[in-house]
């Protein structure tokens, strides 16, 4: 079977694969099952209720809502807790998180005293914690092409997660983005599956820090997500459907990230909300079997446990009784269920379930109900399947050393974390345009600049807004604007410029523009365009989704179109008359439409055309401002190889190209696919 698969995929791989993208030898194929006997020994001593508890993952707020509070962990034998998007202690300070995680971990479920997994969405640093170092989102890391850097970032993220008392990171996202209307585009490393394979491998190696000789995972457990093809849904609809008649293509275009993560021994995989040919992955036995569980045919293969996404069972149920979908999911191979408020609501509406209270007891009763069905019932969950799921989970817990009386000492990874964040932000910037005047390019700025004019109405505060630079999944689920939760190590564009600007330079946003003092040799203007923070389906745009997730996200009403408002445009035009260079910086979670080819009207008003230099900065994190200032003033020089500062996907000319869903890197482009404005790997050097 494996041979057949390899031969079938050869034409694709032969075009795109380089030596470094071949799946590396997997020394971790048996890393977790090494603990199988020990895990089974524990399972044999457990009651059915205790086993069901191990399969239950609930959020901090849900546990607190139970009438027993945190004691519900013992009562329901809970195996794992997560900080969901908006969970927070009294304040999000490190010490408050540490105190909270300490209290939670002092509760151990079941008579077997099985320690808890504590999960968090550390998708770009330990983002729930105030003053944490926030790295660029994956879209920017993709542009760095720097696998070593990604390894270091993952190691630092893992260190920070552990420091806050958590031991499981819901990362890396290895989605391959196919359509930029997708609100999670920035969580993807790009659209080249083979690059993503390498990035995923390094991320997992860095975060988990496995000591293979001692058989111990010293870092944090990773959860590679969202299996699979979450970035390939029709029209880029988050949690949507992938229509396909070609499994080989689906695999080639979406699976390599998993190969990378499996080869590094990822200990868990989160299953996607999305569907393939209308069967939600949460219950999709065919895809789970074929690409996760067939150990004899998959090399490298997955050896950890599977976990559902938040409230995914009720989302997959789509009106069918909850207990049926739950059985379908567990029988398809779901080992752990992330319970959400939606689930409790659905359970209440399932006539078969006797316990109608919206509480954890109802969820667990639903599993029990299925276990107790007759063998002939299609929704029967066998005891054997329960034992298998719990064995998978316990194997991982054992490999993490959670049962050991002494936990490994927390040793900071190499390097200075803030410097690594700065390096990542610098390497992630992509220079799309850099006009020359005579022999002098617009950037780096070499002239003695006395005036920097910032243009960004209606809101100049964007220049001093680290929250916008960080994007979604920062402190809260949807991210937050402003600098409330950052410290002096973080840098907005304003602080970055001020740090570099010589003494006689002032940042001047509001001065009248026509004063004679401003000349082309002593003044530059910086124009800032930014998407507001958003997360998941809240960031979907332009995709004509009339379904459940259609949203009125006013802030994103322009969809992928980016344009200057009239006020800024007037200023820009007057400055251009004086030959003052305009450098435009774009903060965004995806490539935007910046030359408006399909928009009628005055094309010369489009941001790309009207700027002398144009920098795509993505969501560069807490060091983003300093990185941007360094790049403009030549303290950092853009590179243009596959090592940094180049696009990890093709940049669309217009929305029509995006809507084809076939805007792909040239290496896998077919004749019928559109040719983008900028190719994968494009980026100017300075």
Residues within the interface to ligand BGC (CB under 6 A): 82, 84-85, 121, 170, 225, 309-310, 536
Question: How near is the Cβ of 472 to ligand BGC at its closest, in Å?
Answer: 11
Helix (H), strand (E) counts: the chain: 24, 21
CB 114 within 8 A of CB 394: yes
H-only helix segments in 309-446: 312-317, 322-332, 341-348, 360-371, 383-399, 417-428
Identify the CA nearest to 211 among candidates 34, 365, 67.
34
What's the rounded Cα separation, in Å, for the pair 517 and 509? 15
Closest approach of ligand BGC to the CB of residue 666, in Å: 30
Of the candidates 670, 676, 565, the residue with the CA atom closest to the CA atom of residue 190: 676
Q: How far is the CB of 617 from ligand BGC (least distance, A)?
A: 24
Closest to ligand BGC by CB, 43 vs 129, is: 129
Nearer to ligand BGC, 174 or 381 (CB): 174
- Nearer Cβ to ligand BGC, position 539 or 581? 539
Least distance between ligand BGC and beta carbon 85 (Å)? 5
Task: Name every residue whose Cβ is closer than 8 Å to that of residue 22 and which is 6 or more positions away in sequence.
Answer: none
Q: Which is nearer to ligand BGC, 194 or 272 (CB)?
A: 272
First CA to last CA distance, the chain: 49
CA pair distance 603, 544, nearest whole angstrom = 25
Structural contact between residues 469 and 136, judged by C-beta atoms closer than 8 angstroms: no
Q: Which residue has the tokens 């083979």?
A: 194
Name the residue nearer to ligand BGC (CB basis): 337 or 530. Answer: 337
CB 241 within 8 A of CB 247: no
CA geometry: angle 81, 382, 170, nearest 5 deg: 25
Residue 429 CB, nearest approach to ligand BGC (Å): 26
Provide, rounded to whole angstroms, the least separation between the CB of residue 83 and ligand BGC. 8
Widest CA span in the chain: 88
Nearer to ligand BGC, 85 or 496 (CB): 85
Residue nearest to ligand BGC (CB): 170
| Shortest Cβ 536–ligand BGC spacing (Å) | 6
Nearest to ligand BGC of 156, 273 (CB atom): 273
Phi and psi angles of residue 286, each rounded to the nearest 5 degrees, phi first? -60, -50
Torsion of CA 340, 343, 348, 349, to 10 degrees: 150
**Of the two residues 310 and 534, which places its CB atom closer to ligand BGC in the complex?**
310
d(CA 175, CA 253): 10
Q: Which is nearer to ligand BGC, 191 or 535 (CB)?
A: 535
Contacts of 389 (CB under 8 A, 6+ apart): 51, 54, 55, 305, 330, 334, 335, 336
Measuring CA to CA, how many Å separate 343 from each of 313, 316, 359, 360, 373? 7, 10, 10, 10, 21
Rounded CA separation 86/92 (Å): 11
Cα separation, 25 vs 470, in Å, equals 35
- Least distance CB 278 / ligand BGC (angstroms): 19
Residue 84 or 343: the one with the smaller Cβ distance to ligand BGC is 84
Residue 133 structure tokens: 């170092």
Q: How far is the CB of 316 from ligand BGC (least distance, A)?
A: 13
Task: For ligand BGC, give the closer residue by CB, 61 or 93.
Answer: 61
């Amino acid at each position: 079977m494996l041979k057949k698969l390899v031969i079938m995929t050869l034409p694709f791989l032969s075009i795109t694969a380089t030596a470094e993208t071949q799946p590396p030898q997997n020394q971790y194929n048996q890393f977790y099952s090494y603990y199988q006997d020990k895990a089974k020994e524990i399972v044999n001593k457990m009651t059915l209720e205790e086993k069901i508890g191990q399969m239950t993952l609930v959020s901090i707020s849900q546990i607190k809502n139970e009438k027993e509070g945190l004691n519900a962990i013992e009562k329901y034998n809970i195996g794992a807790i997560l900080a969901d998007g908006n969970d927070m202690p009294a304040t999000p300070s490190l010490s408050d998180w540490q105190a909270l995680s300490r209290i939670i971990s002092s509760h151990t479920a079941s008579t077997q005293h099985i320690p808890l997994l504590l999960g968090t969405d550390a998708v770009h640093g330990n983002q729930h914690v105030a003053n944490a170092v926030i790295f660029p989102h994956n879209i920017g890391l993709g542009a760095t092409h720097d696998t070593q850097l990604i390894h270091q970032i993952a190691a630092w993220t893992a260190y920070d997660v552990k420091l806050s008392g958590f031991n499981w990171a819901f990362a890396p996202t290895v989605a391959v983005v196919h359509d930029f209307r997708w609100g999670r585009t920035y969580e993807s490393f790009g659209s080249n599956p083979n690059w993503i394979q390498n990035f995923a491998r390094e991320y997992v190696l860095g975060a988990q820090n496995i000591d293979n000789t001692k058989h111990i995972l010293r870092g944090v457990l990773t959860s590679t997500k969202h299996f699979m093809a979450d970035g390939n849904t029709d029209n880029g609809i988050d949690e949507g459907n992938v229509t396909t008649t070609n499994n080989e293509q689906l695999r080639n275009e979406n699976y390599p990230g998993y190969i990378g993560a499996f080869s590094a021994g990822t200990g868990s995989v989160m299953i996607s909300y999305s569907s393939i040919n209308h069967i939600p992955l949460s219950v999709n036995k065919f895809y789970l079997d074929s690409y996760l569980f067939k150990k004899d045919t998959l090399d490298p293969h997955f050896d950890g446990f599977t976990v559902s996404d938040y409230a995914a069972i009720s989302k997959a149920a789509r009106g069918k009784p909850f207990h049926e979908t739950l059985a379908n999911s567990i029988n398809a191979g779901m080992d752990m269920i992330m319970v959400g408020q939606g689930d409790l609501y659905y359970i209440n509406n399932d006539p078969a379930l006797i316990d109608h209270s919206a509480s954890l007891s109802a969820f667990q009763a639903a599993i029990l109900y299925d276990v107790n069905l007759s063998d002939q019932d299609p929704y029967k969950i066998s005891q054997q399947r329960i034992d298998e799921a719990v064995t998978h989970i316990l194997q991982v817990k054992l490999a993490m050393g959670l049962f050991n009386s002494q936990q490994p000492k927390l040793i900071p990874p190499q390097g200075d974390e803030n410097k690594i964040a700065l390096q990542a932000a610098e390497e992630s910037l992509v220079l799309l345009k850099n006009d020359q005047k005579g022999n002098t390019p617009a950037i780096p700025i070499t002239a003695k600049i006395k005036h920097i004019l910032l243009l960004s109405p209606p809101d100049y505060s964007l220049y001093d807004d680290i929250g916008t630079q960080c994007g979604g999944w920062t402190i809260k689920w949807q991210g937050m604007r402003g600098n409330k939760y950052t410290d002096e190590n973080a840098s907005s564009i304003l602080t970055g410029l001020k740090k570099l600007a010589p003494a006689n330079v002032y940042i001047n946003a509001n001065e009248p523009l026509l004063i004679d003092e401003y000349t082309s040799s002593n003044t530059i203007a910086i124009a800032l365009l930014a998407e507001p923070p958003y997360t998941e389906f809240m960031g979907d745009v332009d995709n004509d989704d009339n379904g459940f997730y259609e949203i009125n996200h006013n802030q994103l009403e322009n969809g992928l179109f980016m344009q200057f408002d009239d006020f800024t445009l007037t200023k820009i035009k007057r400055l251009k008359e004086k030959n003052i260079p305009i450098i435009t910086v774009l903060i965004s979670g995806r490539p935007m439409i910046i030359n408006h080819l399909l928009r009628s009207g005055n094309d010369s008003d489009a941001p790309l055309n009207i700027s002398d230099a144009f920098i795509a900065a993505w969501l560069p994190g807490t060091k983003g401002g300093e990185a941007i200032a360094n790049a403009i003033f030549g303290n950092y020089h853009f590179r243009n190889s596959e090592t940094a500062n180049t696009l990890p996907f093709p940049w669309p000319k217009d929305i029509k190209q995006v809507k084809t869903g076939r805007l792909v890197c040239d290496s896998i482009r077919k004749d019928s696919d559109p040719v983008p404005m900028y190719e994968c790997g494009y980026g100017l050097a300075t």
